[in-house]
Structure 1
Amino acid sequence: MGIDVLVAGAGIGGLTAALSLHAAGIPVRVVDTVEELRPHGVGITLLPHAVRELSNLGLAGELAATAVPTDEIVHYDRHGNRIWGEPRGRAAGHHWPQYSVHRGALQLILLEAVRDRLGEHAVRTGTAFVRFAEMEGSLLRVILRDVGRGREYGVGVRALVGADGLYSGVRARLHPGEGPPLWNGIRMWRGVTDWHPVLGGRAVAVAGSNASVKLVVYPVSREAESRGRAVLNWVAEVRFPVDHHGAAGSGPADWNRSGRLSDVLPHYAGWRIGDLDVPALLASTRRILEYPMVDRDPLPWWGRGPVTLLGDAAHPMYPVGSNGGSQAVLDAAALAHCLVRAGADRVAGLRAYEAARRGVANAVVLANRDMPADRVLRAVAERAPEGFERVGDVLTPAELGELGVAYRRTSG
């Protein structure tokens, strides 16, 4: 009989796709290479339109109990002088909040919902996608591998969705010879730290400039907030020459690669943003992760026949503008909608999904490479390297206005 829709990858995009397809009455199964899905990673932002889709899937209560609603985003120079800020989420008039949440906590919320609604065996871990082969009647033959036993076997599916991330095996089969991800010269260190509330408690704070050194900090735990504490997610970005090699060079793009405090801390010596002592925050982090800022060039097409891509497998992008996870959620909602509208014709549904999402997502990939907000922050660093007293002495009203326009274009 075969599987109706097989999703390769049990990340945020793959699990949301499973919930969306199930809600639409479409049978679905998920496979993932790892033996056990654990709450890895650091913080992630969910924009209001992604929160809307997850709320429509009945997850509003779980999100509200776990994530922190973001009230505002604020930019500072590296000396802690406020440049610009604006409300976010409900504070900005949206019907849904903007949330900051630990990526692993979000993945577990989605996983528990999938297993509760679709059954314990809806997600098969320790199972790697290998390749897809020719059609057998109305079914595509997909070869999977039992990771523990090393045994390959085939299954018949009506549709295959590659939601298997930056190094997608499904994408590699569809677009062979693409090469490694593209590095822009920025090395990122990331961590989460149990701390005291800072900067008003619910702000996303951005300091410095990605032309040299930049920092992003925001709280991700509602539980910590309820006891008067904060779990702060921080991202430190340092630019190097693109041909730089060594500890801070491009290296492998592995979200779980450990980093060293001694590599990142010197870049933030003396930094203080309001009531946030940046060196102390970094030094108190138990585990630091290191990652190059990479993406891939937008694809002219995502899939063919009964195969398509979703999330980072389709459109990996720089983690700016809070878009990566949110775009994957939107992909999942659109996939379910298009398959339902196409009826029994899975191929037509996949092409409709790609038509609805590919242009939008590709535009975000390109926008994230050259955010007007980053150009404005770079101008502040160049014009006032020692800081300023009045932002109006550094930026014109038009330049300040660019910051709000830039965010509304990519994440509004």
Structure 2
Amino acid sequence: MGEQSGSGGRIGGRAGRGRGTGSAGRRAGRLTVWALAGLLLAGGAGAGYVYVTLDGNIEGIDINARLGTDRPEDIDNGSLDILVLGSDSRSGSNARYGGDEGGARSDTAMVVHLHDGREKASVVSIPRDTLITRPACTDDDGGTVPAENRAMFNTAYEVGGPACAVKTVERMSGIRMDHYIEVDFSGFKKLIDELGGVRVTTSEPIRDPKSRLDLAAGTHTLDGEQSLGLVRTRKSVGDGSDLGRIQLQQAFMKAFLAQVKDVGVVSDPTRLLDIANTATQAITPDSELDSVPELMSFARGLSGLSPSDVDMVTLPVEYDPVNPNRVIPLRGAAQQVWTALGLDRPIPAAALKDSAGDKGDAGTLVQDSPPRRTQEAAP
């Protein structure tokens, strides 16, 4: 992925072209969901204690050592590719959200492609229930995890950790991932609270006991708990599958991105430091993004992006004929998506027309709302 992030190497190793910093409003625009590191940009410049504090929060993962050399070619075309995973750990503070016991899974997975020039981004969500051929991996303890056919995508993280998830995505896509960022459920919730919530408008009631969400139709400022419930809602939207949940996640992300420029953190250094402190505890990056200077360098490339510059799609899939509770990639269409990103081109609309992933109306249930202009409905 494009630009160097510091003195060390990067997962991808490409030398890309970044963008310079802009006004305070543009700096606020760096607060993106997939690169929470951008929250560090305006905080503590020249304040050594800030760097020490925030650096102490960041624990990187050396994925390169586990991936070895059997990887896609490193193509230098100025773009960046980041695998972003939402951690589905059921231990500790995440245990209250239920689900599968004893283990961690990637509840949310996105390949974020930053196009050359950093004026556009394409995001491809990979359904957790997608059946794939999982490659043999080296797990966190150095052991070998055998390859498996018709494995659910999110088992790669479960059995082999972040490196196996990266390797699986690289085998699926043929694209070398330049960076990895993992976002923890509990940290996500705290971050939304630090930001003062996210305003959304729901066109219909959304009630899901499993995700503990109960929203009437109308406008709401969602706190961290409600935001987490929204992005985890599944059974009560669309056809009840993971595809509907992905549409909700994408709609929420658009709402979040549309509002971060109005949270006022750039003009309030104390608040910014609080947010940066929470953000650095919420993420686990690869070892080449595990310091404040590296994260700041990486985030500079995101300064010009706005929601309208981000194209969010779901990997083209169809329901598995053997098990309708699972999906399988539409081979030709999925390849069109990966080929477009590999060539740093926009994703062609034709690749999505037959996909089950972008059908349904779950994404239309949520829209962003102008800050402090619309009366809120009772949560």
TM-score w.r.t. the length of structure 1 is 0.29
Q: Which has more radius of gyration? A: 1
Could you say which structure has the higher strand fraction? 1
Higher relative contact order (CA 8 A, sep 6+): 2
- Give TM-score, length-normalised by structure 2: 0.31
